Amino acid sequence: MTYSEDEIKNIVDAQRKYFRSGVTLDVKWRIRQLKKLKAAVIAHEAEFEEALATDLGRSRVEAYLCDIGPIITEINEMLCGLRRWARPERHFSGWMCFPSLVTKVYKMPYGVSLVISPFNFPILLTIGVVAAAMSGGNTVVIKSSSKSAASTAVLKRFFAEVFPPEYITLIDGGHDIADRCLAQRFDKIFYTGSPAVGKHVLTEAAKNLTPVALELGGETGNWCVVRKDADLKDAARKIAFFKLCNAGQICININQVAVAEEVADLFLAELKRAFVAQIGEHAENNEEYPHLITDAAYDKCEQLAEEYRSRILFGGKGDRASRRYAPTVIYPVQTDEHIVQHELFNPLLPIVPFKDAEADALMEIIAEREHPLAMYLFTKNMKWANHVMQTQQYGGGCINEVCIHMMVKGVPFNGTGHSGMGAYHGEWGFREFTHPQTVLKGRTCCNLPLREHPYGGKAEKIKLAILRKFER
């Protein structure tokens, strides 16, 4: 379906009218809607699995592990915490405000929000963000990806069945429809995708001064660093799992591995064994292995692999008919080569050797590039690892693990700079979709003339003495 600018405006206007009715402000009402959403996700699980298989070649287990299960966990966290999160905060105003000593902070929803979701996790990164907006008391217009057409079709039916369009509605279509959405005046925009499109979203949002949250992949990719003292078998097993997941089409996936050259051969041998153990020698023929989203994505991956054909140690094969391209290890690659200076979003895995004694110099090179969405370190040197994690700039990460930091309850998820802005998951999602409003409750008696004129003469000395006393 093609939406005209007027049709989109009518949808936004209807949602703004619904929001202004005040129905979404009631926390009990929001909890009922979240319960309805959770029940609907469970009821439509089979449809979501089928759509993910069509769009990305996901197996049932991977569909549940990466899309459906995390949504249920996320909604459960909201149901447990929403009353507490939404409760107004009570603060002591301070003696400077005497006699008005009570101030409250109310968590007010922004209003009508726009959620632009991506193709790589079309169910999770649509419903998960919508749930955060709902927890904050907003209405939602969704623009889902045209690349994941089967998932978009299922989601459109799903939301139409569960919620009225004046509360939640999904608009499908290509980039032209997204631009028509961005032309409207929304109260909050949440975009997940590439930094290049993120800049465009910010530009359009600025026309209406609309606050924006961006979840981006990181322009120069996420690094994984393997020191010589790391447990190489453990590191290889986890890295192989993660690179296989969704065929590398994950914003927090490992873009390249930097491995200490002293153990590079041992690590590469373990990595090959891990890939074979998990997916077999011919992943491109394995139906459990996901495929790339479009022919264009497959061709881009294949062309880059051909450019590095002489350095491929494992993989390097694909099946264009199914769009499956095997996990491909490329070694050696230097830090200044173009393959490690942009986000790959595919199963290619460049391996960058470095001298273990020069690990800090490597981290300086990484720090000079755009901030990644994720950082992964494998080492037994916890002092060094903790120092790196507390001094580098990135979205989030793990020490001796991959990816599961984003599954921890109660912690924020997102990037910084070219990898994003804002944060969500659980209470952080509630905060992202609400504005804290400070309200001081004034008193009508016992008000001192301290702030009022005159400021000179006898009053000057007395007022300054009292003010200095209050400020201590």
Joined tokens for residue 280 = 């077999």
Give tens-digit pLDDT for 326-341.
Answer: 999 999 999 999 999 9
Strand 212-216 relative to strand 328-330: parallel, antiparallel, unpaired? unpaired
Residue 94 — very low, low, confident or very high, per pLDDT cuts 50/70/90? confident
* Mean pLDDT across 93-117: 94
- Asked whether the beta carbons of 361 and 352 are under 8 A apart, the reply is no
Instruction: Report pLDDT for 218.
Output: 80
Residues tagged active-site: 215, 251
Instruction: Report pLDDT for 83.
Output: 98
CATH class of 223-411: alpha beta
* Mean pLDDT across 45-60: 97
* Mean pLDDT across 450-467: 88
Place of tokens 């990305």: 56
Residue 95 — very low, low, confident or very high, per pLDDT cuts 50/70/90? confident
Percentage with pLDDT > 90 across the chain: 91
Residue 41 — very low, low, confident or very high, per pLDDT cuts 50/70/90? very high
Q: What is the dihedral of CA 247, 249, 252, 257, to 10 degrees?
A: 50
Cα 43–chain centre separation: 25
* Mean pLDDT across 101-107: 96
Tell which residue, 100, 82, 189, has the closest CA to residue 137. Answer: 82
Taking residue 10's Cβ as centre, other Cβ atoms within 10 Å add up to 12
**3 state SS for the chain:** CCCCHHHHHHHHHHHHHHHHCCHHHCHHHHHHHHHHHHHHHHHCHHHHHHHHHHHHCCCHHHHHHHHHHHHHHHHHHHHHHHHHHHCCEEEECCHHHCCCCEEEEEEEECCEEEEECCCCCCCHHHHHHHHHHHHCCCEEEEECCCCCHHHHHHHHHHHHHHCCCCCEEEECCCHHHHHHHHCCCCCEEEEEECHHHHHHHHHHHHCCCCCEEEEECCCCCCEEEECCCCCHHHHHHHHHHHHHHHHHCCCCCCCEEEEEHHHHHHHHHHHHHHHHHHHCCCHHHCCCCCCCCCHHHHHHHHHHHHHCHHHEEECCCEECCCCEECCEEECCCCCCCHHHCCCCCCCEEEEEEECHHHHHHHHHHHHHCCCCCEEEEECCCHHHHHHHHHHCCCCEEEECCCCHHHHCCCCCECCCHHHEECCECCHHHHHHCEEEEEEEECCCCCCCHHHCCCCCCHHHHHHHHHHHHHCC
User: Looking at this protein, which amino acid is placed at residue 160?
Assistant: A
Give tens-digit pLDDT for 293-323.
Answer: 999 999 999 999 999 999 999 999 999 999 9
Instruction: Report pLDDT for 456.
Output: 92
Q: How far apart are CA 343 and CA 83, in angstroms?
A: 40
Joined tokens for residue 183 = 């032309």
User: Is the CA virtual torsion 379, 353, 218, 175 positive or negative?
Assistant: negative
Instruction: Report pLDDT for 217.
Output: 85
Residue 391 — very low, low, confident or very high, per pLDDT cuts 50/70/90? very high
Q: How far apart are CA 136 and CA 85, in angstroms?
A: 9
* Mean pLDDT across 186-215: 97
Give tens-digit pLDDT for 65-79.
Answer: 999 999 999 999 999
* Mean pLDDT across 243-253: 97
Residues recorded for the chain: 472
Residue 97 — very low, low, confident or very high, per pLDDT cuts 50/70/90? confident
Segments making up each domain of the chain, as ranges: 5-218+420-435, 223-411, 442-470
Q: How far apart are CA 300 and CA 293, in angstroms?
A: 12
User: Is the CA virtual torsion 20, 22, 23, 29 positive or negative?
Assistant: positive
Instruction: Report pLDDT for 441.
Output: 93
Percentage with pLDDT > 70 across the chain: 100
Alpha carbon of 113 to those of 7, 56, 142, 182, 231: distances in Å? 17, 28, 8, 11, 46
* Mean pLDDT across 246-266: 97
Q: For the domain with range 5-218+420-435, which CATH number is right: 2.60.120.260, 3.30.1600.10, 3.40.605.10, 2.60.40.10?
A: 3.40.605.10
- Asked whether the beta carbons of 424 and 432 are under 8 A apart, the reply is yes
Q: How far apart are CA 137 and CA 114, in angstroms?
A: 13
Instruction: Report pLDDT for 19.
Output: 98
Residue 446 — very low, low, confident or very high, per pLDDT cuts 50/70/90? confident
- Per-residue pLDDT at 252 exceeds 80: yes
Instruction: Report pLDDT for 219.
Output: 85
Place of tokens 């409207």: 184
Tell which residue, 109, 92, 110, has the closest CA to residue 101. Answer: 92
- Per-residue pLDDT at 98 exceeds 90: no
- Per-residue pLDDT at 1 exceeds 80: no
- Per-residue pLDDT at 377 exceeds 80: yes
